Structure 1
Amino acid sequence: MKYLFATAAMIAFAGPACAQEILLKPVAEARLRYEHADQAGLPIDTSDAVTARVRTGAMASSGALSATVVGQGTLSILDRRYDGLNGAATRPLIADPENVALYIAQLQYRSKALTLTGGRQKIALDDERFVGNVAFRDNGQTYDAARLELVPAKGLKIDIAYAWSARTIWGFQGRGARQQAVSGDNIFANLSYATPVGTLTGFAYLVDQDEAAVQGYRLSSQTYGARLAGALPISRIAKISYQLSHARQSDYHRNPNDYRADYWLADATLDVKGWKLNAGYEVLGADRGAALTSFQTPLGTNFKFQGWADKFLTTPANGVRDLYAGGGYGWKRWGPLTGVSLLATWHRFDSDRLDQHYGNEWNLLASAKAGKTMLSARYAHYDAKAFATDTEKLWLQADWTL
């Protein structure tokens, strides 16, 4: 009913556009990926998977109004793993279960100052730390939501979304703590303004994980904070980009825990004639050291943060501090390839309380584009000290987009 009301309201608002010519644009994506995981401490310490994912659909537009429908399917070609729902949990997790789903089903009105979107949609806010699409996983994450984006004045943007369901990466087989969808009254609100030193954003994220099977409601939280992101040219061939962010999180709605935890981020990247150097420090704070009383990001694109070995998708009870540094080099063209890039990043992970050194991690990435296909190879090596166990992961991937 919520979806129908949101869609009906948008149709009424954008009705005049329906008299214009209707344009049809196909949507097609394909992915083939090999993933290997080697994790110490399990009865079977390796997993291997080859998966293929296809998304196809269409967008019909008429003036400012558009409708988009995209379906997706994920198939396991090689399946020697635990996918989070099937297989033995005695071996490493590779979280891409087979799936057939309606990925996008949205109606949108877009003008220069106003965008309204209703239905199943992708929502990725800022750097996706708190609300994201989880695009790295085959099944992605979308939302059944109504969203308003308003630009009332130059440089000023208001972005408010109400989501009544988060469609998870677990697909139609999802169950228990890994459900297909998690319902709740989620509110995502951003107010941003472009200043001379960067975009300053104030945000409020009310995350309502209203399913008892999902950690007994203990992932419901309210997060309020601010973020500054910008770039500064320092010469004709060099620039520095930066991010600064702080947030405070506490329990929300039916969460039985009573906690307060802070988030901090300081990140800088120097680009010099193809070279890229990056360093940063990110803190997901702890409260009293009890489970799920540390800063949690259940709707974030967490693979992008704190290392690709996925040791900290759920923040440990004592929080986590991530000191990282890395760099790489890129070529615009290398033979038949374009956008060639080599990157390496090192992480040191520590607790936010009790002074524990969790471990260190190396991440390596090589990527390039051949026509419409993006090719990539990733490697992660986590060296455990006081948290989890030694883990290695390897990905070989090809993404094609129409």
Structure 2
Amino acid sequence: MKLNKISKVLLPLVAASVLAPTVAYAANNESKATIDFRLRYESVEQDNALKDADALTLRTRLNFTTANYQNFSAFVEFEDSRAVGVEDYNDTNGNNTEYSVIADPETTELDQAYVKYAANGVIAKVGRQVITFDNHRFVGHVGWRQDKQTFDAASFNYKANDKLDMTYAYVTKRNRIFGEEKDLDAKDHLINIGYKTALGKLSAYSYMLEVDEGADNSLDTYGVRFAGSEKHGKNKWVYAFEYATQESESGSVEYDADYMLAELGYVVNGITIKGGYELLGSDDGEYGFSTPLATLHAFNGWTDQFLTTPKEGLTDMYVSVSGKAYGGKWSVVYHDFNADEDSDTVDDLGDELGISYGRAFNKTFSGGIKFAAYGEGDSGAGKVDTDKLWVWVGAKF
């Protein structure tokens, strides 16, 4: 056991030393190799019986892109996540369950490996790959966690012209953020069509999901999104509007729910002020709208209280202010959460305040700090006061 643990800790360093000559070689030809490190401290304090969690983790990512040959190329990427000295946290895989959750389990895996064809407006990929659409609300890579989400899939994108592009992907496996033991076999069909107008981009999508577990199930979502900006003198308006409907089936149980988003902002002197309303609807208080492939950390608060939508549904009214300072970017975000279908015990779902700052020091090094505080609402919602802090540094070669 000790030898195995030592080997896993040394793997990123050994792999880096092996790949370093490849980086130098790639610089002189059409191939490309990169090494990417992110060292992050995360703490979680919750007002419950769980112990406060602390984690210092190092993510190492190594990748290589081959030269193009007759419109074909290949890409391979390995990813490793290790706890470095501080590992007092529940990693979601049954370790240290007396602590609060920090969803960064130790893992080493093949993160991506695909063959790509690109010519005449067509990009086709077969193999393990990142797939994202629009703002990651429905399909994303969850890059915030140390082990990002990828998919075993065949994907096809056709860009007809500067305005119209269409993507279809068939997914056979969801490689999630919790390590290989929690990946899911799937039969997912993902369709996204985008059209650029003078005022913004219009997207129409259909995401038909099925977990391949031997039992009848489906999660079908159909929607439209419009997002863009409009100049106003030296300043500009920014906006986004979206609507989707969802049908969920599990055995003989069926539910329907709706999704809506309305967001409006104004950019003045480099400061963006934005307000929005997001609804993840409920089916009579029995089912909440679900987005299992999303980059969930980017929505409904950074303390991740609503990774799963409550059966009562969720409304999120939020306001944010962001800008640039000292070579980096800062933001302040406030959320007010409520149930879509309230009950005698669940209506107020709490609120959250988040503050962040991050910057690149040069082309190689970057860093940042982020803090979020969630205040509980009605006791029947099952949430508690939660504070989370992150501090990180990164390097890419």
Scaled to the shorter chain, the TM-score interval is: 0.7 to 0.9
Find the aligned partners of 1:61 and 1:32 in 2 and give their Cα distance: 31
| Change beyond 3 A, Cα 1:382–1:143 | same
Residue 267, structure 1, aligned to residue 267, structure 2: no
1:113-144 deviations in whole A, cap 9, x for unaligned?
11111100000110011111000000000000
Structure 2: state its 5+ residue gaps.
1-27
Aligned twin of 2:319: 325
Find the aligned partners of 1:111 and 1:283 in 2 and give their Cα distance: 40
Aligned twin of 2:22: none
| Change beyond 3 A, Cα 1:154–1:369 | closer
Find the aligned partners of 1:113 and 1:168 in 2 and give their Cα distance: 30
**In the alignment, residue 298 of structure 1 is paired with which amino acid?**
P
What pairs up with 1:189-268 in 2 under 5 angstroms? Answer: 189-211=191-213, 220-236=218-234, 238-252=235-249, 254-268=250-264
Residue 151, structure 1, aligned to residue 159, structure 2: yes
1:193-241 deviations in whole A, cap 9, x for unaligned?
11222111110001112237xxx876x40000100011111112x1122
Which of residues 338, 345, 368 in structure 2 aligns to 1:350?
A: 338
Residue 364, structure 1, aligned to residue 355, structure 2: yes
Q: CA deviation at 1:288?
A: 2.3
Find the aligned partners of 2:369 and 2:251 in 1 and give their Cα distance: 40
1:131-172 deviations in whole A, cap 9, x for unaligned?
110000000000000111002244111111111101011113
Kept in 1: contact 2:285–2:342 (CA 8 A) = no
Aligned twin of 2:366: 374
1:337-358 deviations in whole A, cap 9, x for unaligned?
x3x1221000000000117111
Kept in 1: contact 2:75–2:115 (CA 8 A) = yes
Residue 312, structure 1, aligned to residue 300, structure 2: no
1:164-191 deviations in whole A, cap 9, x for unaligned?
101011113x3xxxx1x21111011011
Find the aligned partners of 2:366 and 2:116 in 1 and give their Cα distance: 29
Secondary structure of 2:31's counterpart equals: strand
Residue 278, structure 1, aligned to residue 278, structure 2: no
Residue 59, structure 1, aligned to residue 51, structure 2: no
Q: CA deviation at 1:40?
A: 1.1
Aligned twin of 2:285: 289
Kept in 2: contact 1:22–1:62 (CA 8 A) = no
Aligned twin of 2:12: none
Find the aligned partners of 1:209 and 1:114 in 2 and give their Cα distance: 29
Residue 341, structure 1, aligned to residue 343, structure 2: no
Find the aligned partners of 2:323 and 2:160 in 1 and give their Cα distance: 40
Kept in 2: contact 1:67–1:107 (CA 8 A) = yes
Residue 134, structure 1, aligned to residue 142, structure 2: yes
Kept in 2: contact 1:221–1:255 (CA 8 A) = no
What pairs up with 1:92-107 in 2 under 5 angstroms? Answer: 92-107=100-115
Residue 114, structure 1, aligned to residue 118, structure 2: no
Find the aligned partners of 2:201 and 2:30 in 1 and give their Cα distance: 34
Q: TM-score, normalised by structure 2?
A: 0.87
| Change beyond 3 A, Cα 1:385–1:297 | same
Q: TM-score, normalised by structure 1?
A: 0.86
After TM superposition, where is structure 1 displaced by more than 3 Å over at least 4 residues in a row? none
Find the aligned partners of 2:333 and 2:253 in 1 and give their Cα distance: 35
CA RMSD, 1 decimal: 1.7
Find the aligned partners of 1:195 and 1:122 in 2 and give their Cα distance: 27
Secondary structure of 2:297's counterpart equals: helix
Find the aligned partners of 1:328 and 1:194 in 2 and give their Cα distance: 26
Find the aligned partners of 2:162 and 2:331 in 1 and give their Cα distance: 36
| Change beyond 3 A, Cα 1:283–1:255 | farther
Q: Number of matched residues?
A: 361
Find the aligned partners of 1:43 and 1:114 in 2 and give their Cα distance: 51
Secondary structure of 1:303's counterpart equals: helix
